[in-house]
Amino acid sequence: MRFRSKLTVQILTGVVVAFAVLCGLVSYIGYCEFTEALEDQYEARAYSTARTAETFITPGFLSSVDLLSPEWRAKYDRIRGEWQRLANTQGATFIYLYRKLDRGYERFSVVMSVMNSSAPYTVFASGSVLDNMPEIYQPAYKKIYEDEDADRAVVTVYREEFGSDEFKSGDHITVLLPIRDAQGGVRAVLGVERQMQELQNVRRTYVRDVLLTTATLLLVALLLYGWYLNRRLLNPIEKIASEALRFARENTHPSVPLRQSITGSDEIGQLARTIDQMEIDIRDYIEDLTRITREKEQIQAELNVATQIQADMLPRKFPPFPERKEFALYATMTPAKEVGGDFYDFFLIDDDHLALVIADVSGKGVPAALFMVIAKTLIKNRAAMGGSPAEILGTVNNQLCDGNEAGLFVTVWLGILEISTGKIAAANAGHEYPAVKRADGVWNLMKAKHSPAVAVREGLAFRESEFELRPGDSLYLYTDGVAEATNAENELYGTARMIEALNRHADEPVEQLLPSMKSEVDAFVGEAPQFDDITMVTLRYFGG
Amino acid sequence: MKIDKTQKGAELTVALEGRLDTVTAPELEASLGELAGVTKLIIDMAKLVYVSSAGLRVLLAAQKKMDGNGGSMTVRNANEEIKEIFEVTGFDEILTIEA
């Protein structure tokens, strides 16, 4: 068995500790039980010896104690002889007969005392007086003398408990019997003492055997358990761990899946199958992600081309009509997303008529851009055929409503300038009010009646208004990307700020005015993202 | 934006809160759905602060759906700024706008 992981050591340490505690507990319980059983056995044997010794005491022996009387001496010698044989054959250490001398239980006189011939002690002589009975015995003597029902008293003495060499004998058990007269009074106490040397030996052997056996069993169990743990738990876990590590590093499918080497329906088997499945899922996911990213990059590239196409559709050559000295024109568009819904347009319908268009398709992105392309084309084509702005928008409206399932619409300001006179006919389909600056005045919004946005509903009739530009006047067209630019505090830029900004830059030529206005809007918006396309067109009229 | 819908029989009241712009307009469009079985649609704009052109498109789509199933749609409690947006874009001529 190899200890190769921390887990193994931890688990086995736990098991060893648990086994050791169990082992100690078993030994201790066995030790106690064993001691109790042996003590009972010693007591029974001492008691039976005492009962036998009692039978030798003849009636009257105690009523006429006289050591000098030859008659009494004869009785005494006979009893002593029997007791000596009894002690030797029964294995008792002492058999003795004591009489209490006064009220307490400290002083006794020795009537008779015999000792096992093999015991290395000495006996008290008959007639001698014991002056201080050890305290450990006194309650037993008290019981014998005072308890009328007592047939015995038992004292167990362990030398280590007793704590002195006062008794030269080792661990022993003493059984005391009362010797009563005919009236039931206690005349003397018969004692039998047995050494418990055997108990010590047997017990020591027992404990040693138990410990040895359990230790051996423990070792065997540990080896078996460790082997089992290794085979069923640690080996598979290590395999799973190293596979997970490998996968994290290499991100490839394993040459051999875990489920082939780790079978079984337990949690380890489940874990192995789950890891297998997880690796497959992650691989699939990574492949999907790679594919999607590739596709997204492709779409992005196509969108970039679309942005370019859209930008190319708007006239971007400035000045657009260098041969025309009657007016100056400039326009910009900054889309919020790659392709936007705003557009502007300007073109000469004939030598004396310039069309100006600014428009904003609802929504953003590709759908808005597609709608914008259609709207721009339709307006330009329809305008080329002649007619008033209202007529042009009316036709375009009906064309755009046709098949407009997405519900997109476009706000348009369309104006046609008569270059020779400066007169402008305009139709405003839901678009922002244009701003006008007179030659010697300031910028102001030019408010005129609106019509709904183009493509909102079929058959709309558009209102038309007229105003005149005099030499030196300017016109500013814009989309809601300007008026509704929003800063981080969710405040709208608004037309009031726009007019103020226009007046700050009133003297700038057209090519400078629009970049200045863009900077003004950017300064207001600050760090907030640009939500809408920002589109502006400006025209300065110099006269026909 | 918060959209709070209350339906009483065939009458659906939709209370809007916040900004109805490019980001939130698709939410409203999805929330309104096909408007099947609704004959009276009320858009309550008391707590709405802004409507962009994308928002107008959703309102227009709802108006067209209501027209299509013979119902009516009313816009209520629009604030001055939103009313101006309706006016500027000509939507005041398309939608029924109540005070």
Helices (DSSP H) in A230-361: which residue ranges? 235-250, 258-261, 267-313
In a shared domain, residues A259 and A327:
no
Contact state of A456 with B94 under an 8 Å Cβ cutoff: yes
Give a yes or no: residue A70 inside a domain: yes
Domain residue ranges in chain B: 2-97
Give a yes or no: residue A207 inside a domain: no
Least Cα distance to B91 among A456, A263, A221 occurs for A456
d(CA A132, CA A367): 121
In a shared domain, residues A385 and A273:
no
3-state secondary structure of A390: helix
In a shared domain, residues A349 and A270:
no
In a shared domain, residues A478 and A448:
yes
The pLDDT of residue A58 is: 83
Give per-residue pLDDT as tens, B53-71.
Answer: 788 889 988 998 898 888 9
Neighbours of A222 (CB within 10 A): 15
Boundaries of domain holding A280: 251-313
Instruction: Look at chain A and report how many structural domains it folds into.
Output: 3
In a shared domain, residues A279 and A391:
no
In a shared domain, residues A323 and A309:
no
Is B83 or A263 the better-scoring residue by pLDDT?
B83
The pLDDT of residue A163 is: 47
The pLDDT of residue A161 is: 53
Looking at the DSSP assignment, which residues form a beta bridge with residue A176? A153, A191
A432 at interface of B, judged by CB pairs closer than 8 A: yes
The pLDDT of residue A88 is: 92
List chain A residues with pLDDT less than 50. 1-3, 163-167
CATH at residue A166 = 3.30.450.20
d(CA A7, CA A493): 67
The pLDDT of residue A2 is: 43
Give per-residue pLDDT as tens, A463-506.
Answer: 999 999 999 999 999 998 898 888 888 888 989 999 999 999 99
Cα dihedral: A196, A199, A204, A208 (round 10): 180
In a shared domain, residues A302 and A335:
no
In a shared domain, residues A354 and A485:
yes
d(CA B94, CA B60): 8
In a shared domain, residues A299 and A396:
no
Give a yes or no: residue A333 inside a domain: yes
Q: What's the per-residue H, E or C state across A151-171?
A: CCEEEEECHHHHCCCCCCCCC
The pLDDT of residue A4 is: 54
In a shared domain, residues A357 and A477:
yes
In a shared domain, residues A510 and A366:
yes
A193 at interface of B, judged by CB pairs closer than 8 A: no
Question: pTM here?
Answer: 0.58
Which residue matches tokens 């910028």? A443
d(CA B61, CA B40): 15
Task: Give the CATH architecture of domain B2-97.
Answer: 2-Layer Sandwich (3.30)
Q: Collect all residues of chain A within an 8 Å Cβ-Cβ radius of residue B34.
A: none
φ, ψ of residue A541 in degrees (nearest 5): -100, 130
CA–centroid distance for A402 within its chain: 59
Give a yes or no: residue A106 inside a domain: yes
In a shared domain, residues A157 and A87:
yes
Question: Which of A361, A363, A450 is the closest to B88 by Cβ?
Answer: A450
Give a yes or no: residue A140 inside a domain: yes
The pLDDT of residue A195 is: 85
The pLDDT of residue B13 is: 94
- Given a contact cutoff of 8 angstroms between Cβ atoms, the answer to whether B83 and B48 are in contact is no
Q: Collect all residues of chain B within an 8 Å Cβ-Cβ radius of residue A360.
A: 53
The 8-class DSSP code of residue A434 comes to P
The 8-class DSSP code of residue A230 comes to I
d(CA A518, CA A482): 8
Cα dihedral: A327, A328, A334, A339 (round 10): 50
